[in-house]
Amino acid sequence: LRRIPLFRDFSDEQLSQVLATVAERRFPKHQFIVREGEPGDTFFVIAAGSVAVVRVAADGRETILSILKEGDFFGEMSMFDSSLRSASIKTLTDVEVGAVRRDDFLGLIDRNPQIGKLLVIELSERLRAANALIAATTSQDIRARLASLLLNLAEQFGESVDNGTRITLRLTNQEMANMIGTTRETVNRTLNRFWDDRLVDMRTAHVIVTEPEKLRALIP
Ligand code: CMP
């Protein structure tokens, strides 16, 4: 639990109180943990693995709003506003979560106001990211959108290697397309162009960002 930023400053006693309310659950890759539109009574922290926050349109097309990983949380929105789930959560890898029921979650915040503060900070960051996504989506330039996505992934899932930053999370071209509102073919073509221009290294299954400054320069 101490690896989860929300509980970083907790004492042993506080942690054991939290532990008493957390149920451990495991989900295999590519499974829904939460479905948009359903009533929600559970808050989740990710102990291992990564998930995508997705909205599915009436025609079945998926938009990936965000990717969350170990240490992140989800499901807090319907805890706070008692509305239906605002998005679906789909596993990208095998995932282990800690699940906390609404009453326990709200009680936890009442007893530990510092958690409320950390939640607000994180929600502010998510709103910033959502604003950036809205701004990027109105730009027609697919190169800019893909460059921005690769830089974000390198920041969230980056690992230093000889020639740059390797993105440790493997996403399919379709998943990347769903994150920037385009098609799999366009992602494929644009990535190959980045590789031709040596902005990225595509020789292995994991994309390596080799020229972050040049990618950044593509973003208006
Ligand atoms: P909730 O609405 O209960 O269930 C879906 C969850 O997805 C939501 O809580 C948030 O935890 C998460 N979520 C929704 N929108 C975003 C977003 N734009 N960025 C990151 N996480 C989100």
Contact predicate 8/117, CB 8 Å? no
Contacts of 39 (CB under 8 A, 6+ apart): 78, 84, 85
User: How much of the chain is helix, strand and coil, in % rounded to 5?
Assistant: 45, 25, 30
Chain segment 38-67, per-residue pLDDT in tens: 999 999 999 999 999 999 988 888 899 999
Contacts of 152 (CB under 8 A, 6+ apart): none
Ligand 1-lining residues (CB < 6 angstroms): 34, 40, 53, 65-66, 74-78, 85-87, 89, 126, 130
Mean confidence (pLDDT) of the chain: 93
CA 75-130-119 angle, to 5 degrees, is 40
ipTM: 0.99
Burial of residue 162 (CB within 10 Å: 0-12, 13-18, 19+) is: exposed
* Residue of 77, 92, 122, 131 to test ligand 1 pocket, by largest number of atoms within 8 Å of CB: 77
Distance from the alpha carbon of residue 38 to the mean position of ligand 1, in angstroms:
13
Q: Is the pLDDT of residue 214 over 90?
A: yes
* The pLDDT value given to residue 60: 86
The model's pTM: 0.89
Chain segment 121-147, per-residue pLDDT in tens: 999 999 988 887 777 777 778 999 999
How would residue 74 be classed by pLDDT, with cut points 50, 70 and 90?
very high
* The pLDDT value given to residue 131: 84
Distance from the alpha carbon of residue 118 to the mean position of ligand 1, in angstroms:
16
